[in-house]
């Protein structure tokens, strides 16, 4: 099945996962994105809200924040947008991913290990769980084939305003027990920073 064909909660059983909820990055320190981002955020929220498409939310809300994240980590992470990701073709874990984050300097192509899959949805983060979880399992397989497995894979489902974090350790899936909001941005940005610091601290 393509990533987009997986639905939640069926994806948990279909991919042989166990599931729990817990606070993820609850103790993360808030981090202010740049002044330029903060000044543009109200207009970007207004524009994305009026247009009301997944593409608008990805372009006007998600991508600018991930750009801030990429600049914060510089050559420590790579960021990809709109990728046709062949996670595990034999298991049919393939398909379109809105955003992928990997370890290392930015290159024109994906390089293992990948760390995070991010899905942008129109209205409800719950509708993105299936696709995101399947993408996380696909990242596991991709990293293993490349000989660069990592302990934890992270996922994020977002409407641009609402942000939901997920973590996959082996077959154990943890879903954050709280949805977080972008406005004001320092809380979600701090959680994204903490997520990548955690991912980068683990050796592949």
Tell me the pLDDT tens digit for each residue of 130-183.
999 999 999 999 999 999 999 999 999 999 999 999 999 999 999 999 999 999
What is the SS3 assignment for 133-191? HHHHHHHHHHHHHCCCCCCEEEEEEECCCEEEEEEEECCEEEEECCCEECCCCHHHHHH
Strand partners, 96: 84
Q: What is the mean pLDDT of the chain?
A: 96
Lookup: tokens for 52? 């009301």
Tell me the pLDDT tens digit for each residue of 13-45.
999 999 999 999 989 999 999 999 999 999 999
Q: Is the pLDDT of residue 204 over 90?
A: no
pLDDT at residue 122 in the model: 87
Domain ranges of the chain: 3-201
- CB burial of residue 204 (10 Å; 0-12, 13-18, 19+): middle
pLDDT at residue 202 in the model: 81
Domain spanning 3-201 has what CATH number? 3.90.1570
């Amino acid at each position: 099945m393509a990533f987009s064909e997986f639905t939640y909660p069926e994806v948990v059983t279909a991919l042989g996962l166990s599931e729990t909820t817990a606070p993820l990055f609850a103790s993360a320190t808030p981090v202010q994105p740049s002044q330029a981002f903060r000044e543009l955020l109200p207009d970007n929220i207004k524009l994305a809200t009026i247009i009301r498409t997944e593409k608008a939310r990805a372009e006007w809300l998600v991508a600018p924040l991930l750009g801030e994240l990429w600049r914060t980590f510089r050559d420590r992470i790579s960021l990809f947008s709109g990728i046709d990701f062949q996670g595990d073709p034999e298991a049919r874990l393939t398909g379109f991913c809105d955003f992928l984050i990997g370890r290392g300097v930015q290159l024109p192509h994906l390089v293992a290990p990948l760390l995070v899959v991010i899905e942008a949805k129109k209205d409800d983060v719950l509708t993105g769980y299936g696709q995101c979880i399947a993408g996380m399992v696909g990242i596991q397989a991709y990293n293993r084939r490349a000989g660069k497995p990592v302990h934890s894979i992270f996922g994020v489902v977002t409407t641009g305003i609402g942000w939901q974090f997920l973590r996959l350790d082996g077959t154990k899936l943890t879903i954050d027990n709280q949805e977080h909001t972008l406005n004001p941005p320092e809380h979600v940005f701090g959680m994204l920073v903490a997520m990548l610091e955690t991912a980068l601290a683990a050796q592949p």
